[in-house]
Amino acid sequence: MIPVCHLTDLPAGESVRIDTAPPIAVFNADGEIYAIDDTCTHQDASLADGWLEGCLVECPLHAASFDLRTGMPTCLPARRAVRTHPVTVEDGMIYVHHAAEEGTAA
Tell me the sheet residues that pair with 37. Answer: 24
Which residue's CB is nearer to another protein, number 62 or number 69? Answer: 62
Q: How many CB atoms within 10 Å of residue 55?
A: 16
* Element spanning 87, H or E: strand 87-90
Which residue's CB is nearer to another protein, number 50 or number 71? Answer: 50
Q: How far apart are CB 79 and another protein at their closest, in Å?
A: 6
Which residue's CB is nearer to another protein, number 33 or number 47? Answer: 47
Q: How far apart are CB 63 and another protein at their closest, in Å?
A: 8
- Closest by CA to 33, choosing from 2, 59, 7, is 7
Distance (Å, whole) CA 42 – CA 81? 10
Note the residues at the interface with another protein (CB under 8 A).
43-46, 49-51, 58, 60-63, 76-77, 79
Q: How far apart are CB 42 and another protein at their closest, in Å?
A: 8
